[in-house]
Structure 1
Amino acid sequence: MTTDKSPQDGPTEAPKLTLLHGHNIPRLGLGTWPLLGEECENSVRNALHAGYQLIDTAFAYRNEDAVGRAVREAGIPREELFISSKFNKESHSVDGVQRAYDDSLNNLGLDYLDMFLCHWPVPAQDKYVEAWKGLVKLLEQGRVKAIGVSNFKPAHLSRIIDATGVIPDVNQIQLSPDLARLAPRAVHNDLGILTESWSPLGRESGLRDNPTVTGIAARHHKTAAQVLLRWHVQQDLVPIPQASNPVWISENMSIFDFALTASEMQAMSALDRGENAARDSDLPENGH
C-alpha cells in the first residue's frame, strides 16, 4: 500500500491508499447505517459537498436507494467517487453474488460499484468460501474494481485465500481505540489487506467523553471525534464514521491538518479492551 499526498489546498478531500488490486481508496469515508430515506440522502449529499468521496452502504441497511439518489444528484463525476456496498448471507454462492451485485446496482441506480464486500462470514451456514468465489468472478469479469470482506476473522481469511489464491483488498471490521483489534490487523498487514474501521468512534462506549481523548483534543484544539479519527488514519486504517449532522460531517473530514504524537497514540491505544470485547462473527446471532 502506498499513500498519496494530501491536497495542498487544505483538508477538503481525503488523501488515498492503494489497494492490492490497484484501485485507490480514500482514507476516510461516510458510514450510512442506520440512516434511512431522506435523512440518509441528506447525509450523503452533505458529505459529498464537504469533500467526501468514499460512501459505504449495504443491502442490509435498506438505504442503497437513498445513497444512490444523493450520488446521482450531487453533480460530481462518478469516477471521482468510491462507492462500496455489501451483500447478505442469502447471496453466499457464486451465482448469488452476481445477482446481489445486480440488485445493489439497481437499488443505487449506478453502473458499477468501486468495491463489493461479503457482509458477514456466517460460519454456521458455511457458504462464505462460495461467496468469495463469486466476488473473485466479479473482479475477473471487470465488473467491480475492488473486492473484500467484512467481519472476517483470520481463520475465515485463510479459508477463502487457500480456496482461490485471491487475497481481499479490504476487511471491514469493528475497530476503535478501545477495540484496537491488534491480532487481526497484524494478519491483514502481513497479507496486504487494508483494514477498514466500522464504528470508529466507539458505539455506546463513551470514547468521546474519555478524559484521555478529551485531553488530547484540547491540546490540538480539535474535537474528540477528530482525534479518534486521526488515530485511525495515522495507522493507515480507513474509518467510516456515520454522521447526519452537517457540522459533524464537515468536522470529521478536517483531520488531515494535524498529527498525534507517538505518546498520544500510545495513550489512546492503551484504552484497548481486548479482542473479546468486539462482536464475535462466529456466533450465529451475528451476521446478515
Structure 2
Amino acid sequence: MEHGVKLSSGQVLPPVTFGTWKLDDTAAEQAVRDAATEGYRAFDTGQRYHNEAGVGAGMRTASVPREQLMVTTKLRGGDHGAEQAERAFKASLRNLGLDYVDLYLIHWPLPRLGLYVETWQALHELRDQGLIRTIGVSNFTAEHIDALIAATGEAPAVNQVECHVGWRQDALRQQMADRGVVVQSWGAIGRGKGLLEDGRLQQVAAQHGVSPAQVAMRWAWQQGVPVIAKSGNPERRRQNLDLDSFMLTDDDMALLATFEQVRIGKDPDVDEEY
C-alpha cells in the first residue's frame, strides 16, 4: 500500500492527501506549493472552502509537473441538480485555473432534497467530456450509494467520510468494500477535538518514536484507508507523509480499538450543509 490505493477509474489515491480546509486563497497557494515541494502529490479543496483559486495557483506554480499532482474538489449542497451542478463544476474549474479536475465529489447527499442521484448523473456527463478524471462522493451512507448504483450501474470511486480511531466506521467501511468504493478519511486526527491528547494514542506514539498524529493516520492507512491531513508546520507536514516507517502491532490495534465511538462531524442522514 506504500504508493496508494488504486481507484476504479485507474487513478491512484496516495496514502496522505494535503487538506486545505479553513485556508484562505493566499495561505492555500503557499501551502500547496510548499507541500508539493515536500512530497505531497494530492490536494483536497471544495467549493465551500472558498480557496479553489489559491489551491489552483499553488498547483500551477509548484515545482512538480501538473500531471504528477492530483486535486480533489467538491460540489456544495446548494448546487445539487443537473444544470446547477454543471454550472458549479465549471465555476470550480475556472477558479482552479486548470484544464481538468482529478477527483470531483458530491460534498453531502442532502437526502431531503432528493437530488443527489440526478447530480451523480450530471457528474458522469462531465467526466465523459474529459473535464473530470474520477467521480465520487463525500459523507454518503450505503443507502445513498445504492441509489446511485441503481440509477447508473456505477458506484462512486471514493466516499470521503469522517473516519478515525474515535469513529471507526467499521460497518460503513465493510459496506463500501463490498461495493468496490474506496473510503478516504477526513478528520483522521480529530480536528482539534482532543483526540491527539488521548493517553492511548500518546502511549503508542512513544513506543514507536513517532507523533500521535502519525499513529492516528497509520491506524487508518494500515486498514487501507487513505487520509487527508493539514498542517502549517513543515516538520509536521513531513511527519504526516511518513506513515510507512513503522507498523502498528496487534496490541497497538487492540488498544486503539478501546476508544469510545463519538462522531465529531455531521450526520449525513439528517444534517445538511450548503
**TM-score under structure 1 length normalisation:** 0.91
1:280 pairs with 2:267? yes
Alignment RMSD (CA, Å): 1.5
The partner residue of 2:225 within 222, 237, 244 is 237
Structure 1 residues without counterparts, runs of 5 or longer: 7-14
1:138 pairs with 2:110? no
The whole-number CA distance in structure 2 between the counterparts of 1:272 and 1:133 is 38
| 8 A contact 1:105–1:112 mirrored in 2 | yes
| 8 A contact 1:121–1:287 mirrored in 2 | no
The whole-number CA distance in structure 2 between the counterparts of 1:266 and 1:83 is 35
The whole-number CA distance in structure 2 between the counterparts of 1:85 and 1:268 is 31
The whole-number CA distance in structure 2 between the counterparts of 1:51 and 1:272 is 34
Give the alignment of 1:87-236 within 5 angstroms. Answer: 87-236=75-224
Please report how far the alpha carbon of residue 272 of structure 1 lies from its aligned counterpart in structure 2 after TM superposition: 4.2
Q: Structure 1 69/277 Cα, relative in aligned 2: closer, same or farther at 3 Å?
A: closer
The residue identity in structure 1 corresponding to 2:268 is: S
Q: Structure 1 272/20 Cα, relative in aligned 2: closer, same or farther at 3 Å?
A: farther
The whole-number CA distance in structure 2 between the counterparts of 1:205 and 1:269 is 18
Give the alignment of 1:19-30 within 5 angstroms. Answer: 19-30=7-18
| 8 A contact 2:220–2:227 mirrored in 1 | yes
The residue identity in structure 1 corresponding to 2:91 is: D
Please report how far the alpha carbon of residue 75 of structure 1 lies from its aligned counterpart in structure 2 after TM superposition: 2.4
| Higher RCO by CA contacts (8 Å cutoff, separation 6 or greater) | 1
The whole-number CA distance in structure 2 between the counterparts of 1:170 and 1:35 is 24
Aligned to 2:256: 268
The partner residue of 1:42 within 13, 27, 30 is 30
The whole-number CA distance in structure 1 between the counterparts of 2:260 and 2:156 is 26
Structure 2 residues without counterparts, runs of 5 or longer: none
| 8 A contact 1:46–1:249 mirrored in 2 | no
| 8 A contact 1:43–1:246 mirrored in 2 | no
User: What percent of counterpart residues are identical?
Assistant: 35
| 8 A contact 1:136–1:166 mirrored in 2 | no
The whole-number CA distance in structure 1 between the counterparts of 2:84 and 2:257 is 40
**TM-score under structure 2 length normalisation:** 0.95
Q: Deviations over 1:189-238 (max 9, x none)?
A: 10110001111101233111111110110011001111111111111101
